[in-house]
Structure 1
Amino acid sequence: MTRFPHLAALALALIASTAASAQDRPPTPVDVAQPIVRSVTEYNEYTGRFEAAQQVEIRARVSGYVQEIRFKDGEDVKAGDVLIVIDPRPYRANVARAKADKSHAVAMRKLAELEVARGEKLIKSNNIPADELDKRRANLSAATATEEAAQAALTNAELDLEFTEVKAPFDGRLSRKLVDIGTLVSGGSPQSTVLVNIVSRGLAHFWFDAPEADYLHFLRLDNRGERTSARFEVKKVQVRLLDEQEFVHEGYLDFLDNRINEGTGTLRARAVFDEGGELLIPGAFGRLRLPAYGPHEVMLLPDTAILSDQGRKLVYVIGEGNVVGVRMVETGPIAEGMRIVRSGIQPTDKVIVNGGVKVRPGMPVAPNPVDLAASAS
């Protein structure tokens, strides 16, 4: 026999009151809609960065002191414009010396030719031995070789003199100068002094890495004849920048690497864009959209309808008597602002698209039909 009969009676009263209130509680209101069935093209998205189609570190090709700087930092230049002048006086002296050496070599070659010509006349009258003529002919060959070497030295000296004027290799935009007037620069080696950087304008390359799984998926589609590989067909792509919501910049895929990177498990790829002006600047971050499959018919639901349970994707549907049921689904990427649902539901199912977090399977609800077509983008 309980020692506190009044407490037991109070507990029974509370339980009865709670059960009664649960039965009297109205069904939870939820928004319900049927999946939209549309023909869409599925896209894969990748992040990457822009690079100039041409970009060069302009280095000194000869050593010397910087005499002139003929550009302003960040200036646009044309191919052949002189950017920097390295003191040319030592190289002019080298050219003068090389010209003198060539003139001497030419004179020695002409003298050797005369000696050979005289020898050929004298040999006919037996006034010189045959070996003497052979020596004269050998001297002529040596003089000719000396002249050719002198010409090569002159050409090299003239090139060095030409390299004292550092010119833009192509149309583009310069960085800031990396040397000042009076700087001693070294040239003619891989460690030559970097004078300035230049990047091309207009055409822009977008580099990104695609997972190995995506590459294999596309290859399987190509083998089944469902989608032509980018190796055999030009694929149009779109990019959006950091502050853009839509993929407004259009280009095309023009390069796939010939191997998977073993360290990252990705395939390097490049897209080309020939518009964008100042927006598609080298180093800018972007997100690229690549057509992956389609067009084909799919079911679409808003992301608010898709719930997660330990890694599985599910949706709540309305059955007889407006009772909540659950369906496991396989989802795809976003298309037209909604999530692609590949399997698990039928186009005629009534899916809870808003309010699903407040209900559980088996609960009665008050469905409010909504039109998904009006909100699809």
Structure 2
Amino acid sequence: MNHILLRRFVLASVFVALAVALLPGCKPAEAPQAPPPATVTVSRPVQRDVVRWDQYSGYLSSPKTVIVSARVSGLIEQAPFQEGAIVQAGELLFKIDPRPFQADLDNKKAAVAQARATAVKAKADFGRSVELIKAQVIAPSDFDTTKASYGEAAASLDAAEAALETSRLNLEWTEVRAPISGRVSRMNVTVGNLVNGGSGQPTTLTTIVSIDPLYCYINVPESAALLYQELALRDEKGNVARANIACSVQLENEKNFPHQGAIDFVDNQVDVNTGTQQIRCVINNPTTILTPGLFALMRIPASGRYHALLIPDAAVNADQDERYLLIVGADNVVRQRPVKLGALFGNLRSITDGLKSGEKVIVNGMQFAQSGAKVIPHEVPVPTQSLDAMERDTATAPIAQAIPDMRTAAQSDSRSSSKVHQ
């Protein structure tokens, strides 16, 4: 009996254990919780009047370069200039020993005096012979002789005076003076050396380059050259040089294009090998900080002021050839919006089509936002420091007078001008 009771107790315990083990499986499974909406940063586009600029790399060149050579032969006595300094036109650079030329000048002066005395005597003899021939006192042959003597004496005086002038010039050329104002190079010949002058192979003493103003040469694409020509024609200037299109230049270690100028020359043909046309801008250089041969970045206005919608360039997404923005609507749902891009102003990109003022654009957290998904937007203003700096810089810069109107500028803004053309 006890054995039977024990067996029933064991079976009951197993049944209870099985019931307890199967009891949780009878409850309905709980549904997984949906993740909360992602938090993203949004900004509304900035509305600003802007000017679109084209930028090109170029190089500086001097309008005038003079090779200073000796005009007379002799010994260098002085070289009273500092190498690499700024010299003014007429400033003494070299002095050649003047004594041989002074002696020659004195000799020529004496020759002139002698020739003048002979000419005076011959003139007097000819005057008397005129009266005597009228009175038929002398023979015609004697009259002809005095007349010829007078002509010969006058010619000799002219030759002596010409020789005197040559000697005076030679003495003057012993002082080698700067023909232009500019920066002088090093001395090719130092004091104590003999130099050759004249029309043979004159000795090169130094070189001078003008530095104020300077030229900046650039090569622009054919499309840009046609645009600038169109601007000139709209202002009835005929060509780009006469349109006085403004330009500004900065060096490698500079910012905000501090050097102002204007286009004054466009080459007469397009290079068929590169498809570019050379343009020259003349830049004022009163501080002489600009040096011929330096590479520089030139900026040219490609439009007038026009109204633009600007957003951070980092907010623009790409899907193959399409550019789009992620817009957060009033229901906080993300929508993908194709847009057309304009020019770049600092780190802000202008949007010419596909965006309205007041719309919220995702500028940060785009990796957590998908089209059709709900998000939690955190709105911040668009940073405009780079745009403000550009506007401060261009506020005092001369803007080209031949510029398109606002409608044309807005349409042409779709042409990318943010690249630096090589």
TM bucket normalised to smaller: 0.7 to 0.9
Match of 1:331 among 306, 325, 342: 342
Tell me the equivalent position of 1:322.
333
Task: Say yes or no: does 1:64 pair with 2:74.
Answer: yes
Task: Say yes or no: does 1:252 pair with 2:261.
Answer: yes
Which one-letter code corresponds to 2:196 in the other structure?
A: S
Contact 1:36–1:373 under 8 Å retained in 2:
no
Q: Distance in 2 between matches of 1:56 and 1:73?
A: 15
Shift of 1:30: 4.3
Contact 1:65–1:87 under 8 Å retained in 2:
yes
Q: Distance in 2 between matches of 1:228 and 1:370?
A: 49
Per-residue CA deviation, residues 323-370 of structure 1 (Å, 9 max, x unaligned), is 4424142322x33642233334333554333455x4797463635433
Shift of 1:205: 1.8
Alignment size in residue pairs: 351
Shift of 1:163: 0.7
Shift of 1:66: 1.7
Q: Distance in 2 between matches of 1:127 and 1:365?
A: 135
- Inter-CA distance 226–100: structure 2 relative to 1 (3 Å threshold): closer
Q: Distance in 2 between matches of 1:351 and 1:219?
A: 38
Match of 2:177 among 161, 167, 177: 167
- Inter-CA distance 210–159: structure 2 relative to 1 (3 Å threshold): same
Shift of 1:217: 0.8
Mapping of 1:78-227 within 5 angstroms?
78-189=88-199, 191-200=201-210, 203-211=212-220, 212-224=222-234
Q: Distance in 1 between matches of 2:373 and 2:199?
A: 81
Equivalent position SS for 2:208: strand
Contact 1:50–1:204 under 8 Å retained in 2:
no
Contact 1:315–1:351 under 8 Å retained in 2:
no
Per-residue CA deviation, residues 64-100 of structure 1 (Å, 9 max, x unaligned), is 2322222333344444332211222332333233334
Task: Say yes or no: does 1:290 pair with 2:300.
Answer: yes
Q: Which structure has the bigger radius of gyration?
A: 2
Equivalent position SS for 2:254: coil
Shift of 1:285: 3.6
Match of 1:273 among 269, 276, 284: 284
> Is 45-54 or 222-231 further displaced after alignment?
222-231
- Inter-CA distance 134–349: structure 2 relative to 1 (3 Å threshold): farther
Equivalent position SS for 1:119: helix
Q: Distance in 2 between matches of 1:220 and 1:28?
A: 50
Gaps of 5+ in 2: 1-30, 389-422
Tell me the equivalent position of 1:6.
none
Tell me the equivalent position of 2:410.
none
Q: Quote the sequence identity (%).
A: 31
- Inter-CA distance 288–149: structure 2 relative to 1 (3 Å threshold): same
Equivalent position SS for 2:129: helix
Q: Distance in 2 between matches of 1:152 and 1:308?
A: 83
Equivalent position SS for 2:338: strand
Which protein is richer in strand relative to its size? 1
Q: Distance in 1 between matches of 2:351 and 2:139?
A: 103
Mapping of 1:21-32 within 5 angstroms?
30-32=40-42
Q: Distance in 1 between matches of 2:237 and 2:360?
A: 33
- Inter-CA distance 318–213: structure 2 relative to 1 (3 Å threshold): same
Q: Distance in 1 between matches of 2:310 and 2:191?
A: 65
- Inter-CA distance 306–279: structure 2 relative to 1 (3 Å threshold): farther
- Inter-CA distance 27–228: structure 2 relative to 1 (3 Å threshold): farther
How big is the alpha-carbon RMSD for the aligned residues of Structure 1 and Structure 2?
Answer: 3.6
Tell me the equivalent position of 2:373.
364
Q: Distance in 2 between matches of 1:302 and 1:191?
A: 65
- Inter-CA distance 306–323: structure 2 relative to 1 (3 Å threshold): closer
Shift of 1:280: 2.9
Gaps of 5+ in 1: 1-19
Equivalent position SS for 1:152: helix
